[in-house]
Amino acid sequence: MPLFLYRLLARLAFLTSWATPAAVIVFVFGTSWPLMVVAEPAGSELVQPANYWWYFVVTAATVGYGDFYPETGWGHLVGAYVIIGGIVALTTVFTKLASVLEQAKGRRMQGRNTVHASGHIVLLGYTPGRTERIVEQVLADDDHHLVLCATGEVTTHPMPRPGIDFVRGDLADEAALRRAGVHRAAAVLIDAHDDNEALAVAVAVDHLETTAHIVAALRDMDRTALLHYVDQNIHCVPWHTPRMITEELTAPGIAEVYAELMAHNGANTYSIRVPAELGPVPIEQCQLALGRQHGATVLALRGSDGRLVVNPSWQSAAPPGSVLYYISPNRLSARQFGAALGR
């Protein structure tokens, strides 16, 4: 009987579903019960329907509580058959489970899986070294769920770590973008090999009608107008500024703030050296007085030791000779600065 069971299992080995262990269990149960009825004496409690299924489970699992057991020699032989069949069934179960886990891991590493998350960040495009830096900066700001979508030339997951999924395919292919969950993402970064590819990817992303915040890294910022033909809400940032890219991803609109600061019109950034005759000037007084009278905001302080402090504490003071960096509609003279402070 064990030899017959082995041959049957060999014939069922081609099955890739859970049908193999199920078929083994059903076969062993269906054949062992009648054999046990024949082997055991009449009236045996073991072969009763309410008892035999329990005996079969604990025996096949090699637990053996001993509450029911065969009494005859032939019954012992049938019990051994159940044990062997149980071991075979458990082996097929664990083999199938290991195969399922290995296939799932393989699909994840090879980028063939589908991401079912929502509210995540999708990175479209991979450049060795650069993409790793962007990912590290994004994760440093917060614990985001990232999905890296790369072309077929990236054969395996380049960053296999928790919280980062990998999807491989054509970046302009709707199926690949859907597997990456672009249509459910909170933010999408288009970081292609060149601006022409970035434009093609932007068209594909726009076709999904996603509500995600879309950021495109461009080598030539003059191409911004072309991407705005696709979608006016695409935020374009210089390709060579990874930090600005990550800030735009996690804080939508910050790139526009940077662009406005560097523009010739509107508010601009200036610096002024604190006159020696004013003595130490509290930062709180600078913020309040300059803000009320000139619409200026102190951004940074460079002390007399040359150390730069961005967003200095209001409880600190600017010593004489130090430099204050501020944003304002106009540059302030030393006289305006002193007058605003009442000095």
**What would the two tokens of residue 148 be?**
């890296």
Nearest by Cα to 130 from 105, 148, 107, 152: 148
**What would the two tokens of residue 32 be?**
């062992």
Average pLDDT by stretches of 10, the chain with 343 residues: 52 58 82 87 85 84 79 86 81 75 69 88 95 92 89 89 91 94 95 95 93 94 92 92 89 79 70 89 92 92 89 92 90 89 77
pTM above 0.75, yes or no: no
Q: How far apart are CA 163 and CA 160, in angstroms?
A: 9
Q: How many CA atoms lie within 13 A of 215 on its CB side?
A: 30
Domains of the chain listed by start with CATH number:
2-108 (1.10.287.70), 121-262 (3.40.50.720), 268-340 (3.30.70.1450)
Dump strand ranges (E) for the chain.
121-124, 146-150, 164-168, 187-190, 213-218, 235-238, 268-273, 281-282, 297-302, 308-310, 317-318, 323-328
**What would the two tokens of residue 248 be?**
């735009």
Nearest by Cα to 298 from 320, 317, 276: 317
